[in-house]
Amino acid sequence: MAETIGIVQRLTIAPDWACTWIGPTPANTELLVVTDTSGVLRGNIVDALATALVSRREIKAGHADNNGEITYILIEPA
Amino acid sequence: MASTKGLVQRLTLSEELSSGCFFIGPSPYSTELLFIMMKPSDSVLLRRQKESMINLLIKAQRADYNVTAYHDQNSAEVDWVALGDFDISPIGLAIHNDFYSISGYGIPDNVEIVFDSTNLTITVQPDIVRPHWVFVAELPNAIPVGRNMVSLQAPGWSSDAVPIDVHAGPPATVRVLYSGSPRTNPYTVAFVANPAIESAAGGTFSADPVLTQRTDFHDAVNYCLRTMLTETEDLLRQNNLDTHIRFVTIFDSTLTANNNNSLAQELNPNLMLTRRDRLRPFLARYFEVADMVMVLHGSTTHDRATAWYTTDNANMPGTAYTYDGVNRLHGHIPEIPGSAAIPISVDQTGHTALHEFCHGASDFNNGRIWDLYHDGPSGGFDVNKKFRANNTDPIPNNFANYNGTNYNSDQNRNGIGYPIAWESYHPALIDPTRPNLMDNYWQAFDTPLRCRLDQLTYDLLSDRLRAKIFR
């Protein structure tokens, strides 16, 4: 399991997926995705990413080593 | 697909209509009306995504962020929304008298940070500027509390303006200054205000004065970062290596003086040591893991800086290297982080922070970067110091072979010269006109801050840092 750490630089929400760019600068990011948001928590992950983006908070996004599908996020106390 | 970009000037949400209407545009009087409608035919997934889009647009309105809404050329129904298209990135909350930093790319050296509020424009000179990052040790309280637009500006160059909310306080306990590589376990340097000092005799603990000297803590962190990232020695910034390094501070003034909170111990007559075995559990309380911990303390009696090497985890992967034909390893993961104890009263005209960093970043068991200003060994495998059998023996031309490359010896120890009784000798300097950064750099003819490492230490530490940073 990998955990990408950084600032949420950008978030796009489409009808059946959301993708986010996480990294220290707008030019140095990892692209991660949330696909099946029909589950309650997956949808909340997208909402939490939006909150982290506007609050400039660092997050940790968990995903498998070989793909960018976010399975959890961690936002530590500031 | 068409797109409409701008601020969410106005929104209405109607349960009766099962829809949200959004007026998006550059001003309240110049908008496009777009909508998101919940339909009975929507799948559970689509319904949830629409809720998230509405959520995003509400947050964007509150934050004054531009959004981009994508919709069919002939329809006002939103299909996608995107948020956060800035070319700079403010990091964390903006709080008076706290650290503040902004990341970006191609940032010029002469950049200033501009805070624009309704009635006032405040320009702040950053304490540190790197092409990807600007850093302010203390955010001036002249910046009005509340909504500001922050941007970076230099003659002929400017960034986007990002809306932020400025707060009067209190400063954060844990502050991410720069988040490093977007990866698992980025190489992290933590600056920690030491909560308690253990006496030299051991077993008794007193409150560290640094916890009541937050301004001095900020100044010391600024000094450390300056010596590590902006002076002549470019170990940490070569090839923009620092773009991958995460920097974080911890200042917790609520902690009491006890064994669990003490990260430093006095060593008479005037040294301060880190309590290296306490660092990991202490950081874990703040959900932090570090490769290097700079312990900043307020002692005025034990104000000579020291460092402990990293102890790499031998059970984790590493990058192999050879030194004089012996196979060794740059371990990727520390079992015990490297550390340095730095007084907040440190003489800022010298290279103390970077000097101690170089000690701490080396490994206890696979190559220590040792002091060159005295004749003794460290007691382990020293990378940068060797010994002649007799002080009358000539200094060998060749100092060592690292990864197949021969490195010469420093025959003259810069202009300082080897004392006649010394048996030790050092690798050749990068800048032979100034003392080695691991030697007595205070004897530099101009400023200690221009001193550099020897080439062997530089190359080995560079490889070691890369092995960890790209683990």
Place A40 in a pLDDT band, splitting at 50, 70 and 90. Answer: low
Same domain membership, residue B435 and residue B292: yes
Q: Would you state the torsion angle of the CA atoms of residues B257, B262, B268, B271, taken in this order, to the nearest 10 degrees?
A: -120
Same domain membership, residue B236 and residue B194: yes
**pLDDT tens, B131-151?**
999 999 999 999 999 999 999
CATH number of the domain residue B152 falls in = 2.60.40.10
The C-alpha atoms of residue B272 and residue B299 are separated, in whole angstroms, by: 8
CATH number of the domain residue A47 falls in = 2.40.50.110
Same domain membership, residue B187 and residue B131: no
Coil/strand/helix, residue B468: helix
Same domain membership, residue B93 and residue B202: no
Number of domains within chain B: 3
| Local confidence pLDDT in tens for the 471 residues of chain B | 899 999 999 999 998 878 899 999 999 999 999 999 999 999 988 888 999 999 999 999 999 999 999 999 999 999 999 999 899 999 999 999 999 999 999 999 999 999 999 989 999 999 999 999 999 999 999 999 999 999 999 999 999 999 999 999 999 999 999 999 999 999 999 999 999 999 999 999 999 999 999 999 999 999 999 999 999 999 999 999 999 999 999 999 999 999 999 999 999 999 999 999 999 999 999 999 999 999 999 999 999 999 999 999 999 999 999 999 999 999 999 999 999 999 999 999 999 999 999 999 999 999 999 999 999 999 999 999 999 999 999 999 999 999 999 999 999 998 799 999 999 999 999 999 999 999 999 999 999 999 999 999 999 999 999 999 999
Measured in degrees and rounded to the nearest 5, phi and psi for residue B351 equal: -105, 30
Same domain membership, residue B66 and residue B156: no
In our burial notation (b when 16+ CB lie closer than 10 A, e otherwise), range B227-254 reads bbbbbebbbbbeeebbbbbbbbbbbeee
Number of domains within chain A: 1
Residue where a domain terminates, one of B133, B167, B201: B167
Residue where a domain terminates, one of B83, B98, B126: B83
Indicate yes or no: CB of B84 within 8 angstroms of CB of A8.
yes
Q: From the candidates B85, B103, B241, B248, which should be mutated to test the interface with A, based on the most A CB atoms within 10 A?
A: B103
User: Which residue of chain B comes nearest to A41, CA vs CA?
Assistant: B48
Same domain membership, residue B322 and residue B194: yes
Indicate yes or no: CB of B44 within 8 angstroms of CB of A38.
yes
State the DSSP H helix or E strand holding residue B62, giving kind and residue range, or none if neither. helix B44-63
pLDDT at A77 over 80: no
Residue where a domain terminates, one of B83, B108, B142: B83
Q: Would you state the torsion angle of the CA atoms of residues B464, B465, B470, B471, taken in this order, to the nearest 10 degrees?
A: 60
Same domain membership, residue B7 and residue B78: yes
Same domain membership, residue B254 and residue B156: no
Residue A38's pLDDT is 66
In our burial notation (b when 16+ CB lie closer than 10 A, e otherwise), range B272-281 reads bbbbbebbbe
* B90/A contact by beta carbon, under 8 A: yes
What range defines the domain where residue B71 resides?
2-83
**pLDDT tens, B25-46?**
999 999 999 999 999 999 988 8
- β pairing state of A2-13 and A58-63: antiparallel
